[in-house]
Amino acid sequence: MKTTFGFIGCGNMGGALASAVAKSVGGSSLLVCDALSEKAEALAAALGGAIGTACEIAETCEYVFLGVKPQGFEALFEEIRPVLQNRDQAPVLVTMAAGISMDAVEKMAACDSAVIRIMPNTPVSVGEGMILYTANAKTTEEQLSCFAHALSEAGKLDRLPEEKIDAASALSGCGPAFVYLFAEALADGAVECGLSREKANLYAAQTLAGAAKLLLTSGKHPGELKDAVCSPGGTTIAGVHALETGAFRASAIEAVTAAYEKTLKLKK
């Protein structure tokens, strides 16, 4: 079996990305491992892939996804560095660890390896993720094209300079939590007005999904779409007024900037 994509770490994000890759290139191209062997076994069985060790993945795979927590990177590279250095051609290392730069990964690998840094968000698990990515100078356009195709079933991909990754991730990476909080609040309001919790949750979720799709497909500014719903003297503008009275937009801005500032502190 030719194994092209290896996943070291099968947690929620690693598993979701592996599932997306399996849809794009086929499960037989996957080799997975995890500190919890039963987790790797379950994922491999579900996707039609194979189970290996971290060293086997580092030795055989063309793309090595590093799905371990940032604090586990040094120990991981202590284990796989000799294998990477003995390869005729180094693999593409795909890192998703917050706060660890491509330069840091290169130094830990100590080999002439292409590095792609990604920051995905949790909706990749349903194929609607936002995956931010950047790559070092050793990464070829062919490698990037193959990488993008492999992750195409996970959602939208957008390339940007590494220095912008943290700011972008404060929105797309942390943003789902903010959206869920808003959805819960919308549903709470409907429950207070007399709807059942089940109906309120459904209506809130579908309203957010529909509004997001319209925003993505229309090409219009969010303010223009908002204005289109707000009839003069109507119910919607009354609700918008209530949100503004509660500093809704200011709070949303502060949520993103607070997440960004926390990221910068964690990097120090």
Q: Decide if 5-160 and 175-267 have a common fold.
A: no
CATH architecture of 5-160: 3-Layer(aba) Sandwich (3.40)
Question: What span, in angstroms and rounded, lies between the C-alpha atoms of 31 and 53?
Answer: 9
Confidence tier at 3 by pLDDT (50, 70, 90): low
Residues in contact with 123: Cβ distance below 8 Å, sequence separation at least 6, in sequence order: 129, 130, 155, 176
User: Tokens 């086997």 sit at which residue?
Assistant: 56
pTM for the full predicted model: 0.91
d(CA 38, CA 246): 48
Q: Residue 5: is its pLDDT beyond 90? A: yes
DSSP 178: H
**∠ at Cα 67 (63, 73), nearest 5°?**
100
Residue 228: pLDDT above 60? yes
Give residues with Cβ within 8 angstroms of 137, minimum separation 6.
Answer: none
CA dihedral 258, 262, 264, 268 (to 10 degrees): 160
- Alpha-carbon separation of residue 81 from 57, 74, 75, 85, 112 (angstroms): 12, 10, 10, 6, 11
Cβ contact 56:30 at 8 Å: no
- For residue 255, name the pLDDT band (cuts at 50, 70, 90): very high
Q: Are 167 and 142 in contact (CB under 8 A)?
A: no
Least confident range from 90-99, 186-195, 208-217: namely 90-99
Highest CATH level, class, for 175-267: mainly alpha
pLDDT at 1: 45
Residue 263: its pLDDT value, please?
87
Instruction: Please state the domain extents for the chain.
Output: 5-160, 175-267
pLDDT at 114 over 80: yes
